[in-house]
Copies of this chain bind each other. A is one copy, B any other.
Amino acid sequence: MPSEYCTQRQIEFSDTDMAGIAHFSRFFVFMETAEHEFLRSLGTSVATKWQGNKIGWPRLSASCEYLNPVKYEDVLDIHLAILRKGRTSMTYQFLFTKDGVEIARGQMKTACCICNAGEELRAIPIPDFVANQINELPPASPTT
């Protein structure tokens, strides 16, 4: 069962700002898109239906440390790992590198929720069709 996922992303012109580098807020979009690719790789989606309800994953928190800037056309290697698989939430860790050099380290904690239109969000235990497919990163992992 996977606890990691790797993808890539090339910096677009509209990701950059007047400092000539990718704007710091874009890394949160990069994390989200990697998370969504990961969910698709499991055969599910961040926006899916289950037992007649809409299931979504609203964010509880997100953070990022910026170690080195990246520029237009740079290609980021993005390494996602499941830092913690809770009962109703998931904590992802993201490592961004370029040619092996660390660019940024992020985390994102999401809650599994019923997101039906017109109802309040309601946290639920992660359904088995997701929970049974994934594992937390083992504690001794060198990428932690």
Chain A residues within 8 Å of B, Cβ to Cβ: 12-14, 16-21, 23-26, 28-29, 32-33, 36, 40, 45-47, 56, 58-66, 69, 71-73, 115, 117-118, 121
Contacts and interface: CB of A to CB of B under 8 A. Distances in A.
A65 B72 contact: no
Contacts of A66: 58-62
Contacts of A73: 40, 45, 47
A115 B19 contact: yes
Complex A-B, nearest 10 residue pairs according to Cβ-Cβ distance, in ascending order: A63-B63, A16-B18, A25-B28, A24-B59, A61-B65, A18-B20, A14-B29, A117-B117, A16-B17, A25-B29
Contacts of A33: 12-14
Contact of A14 (B17, B64, B117): B17
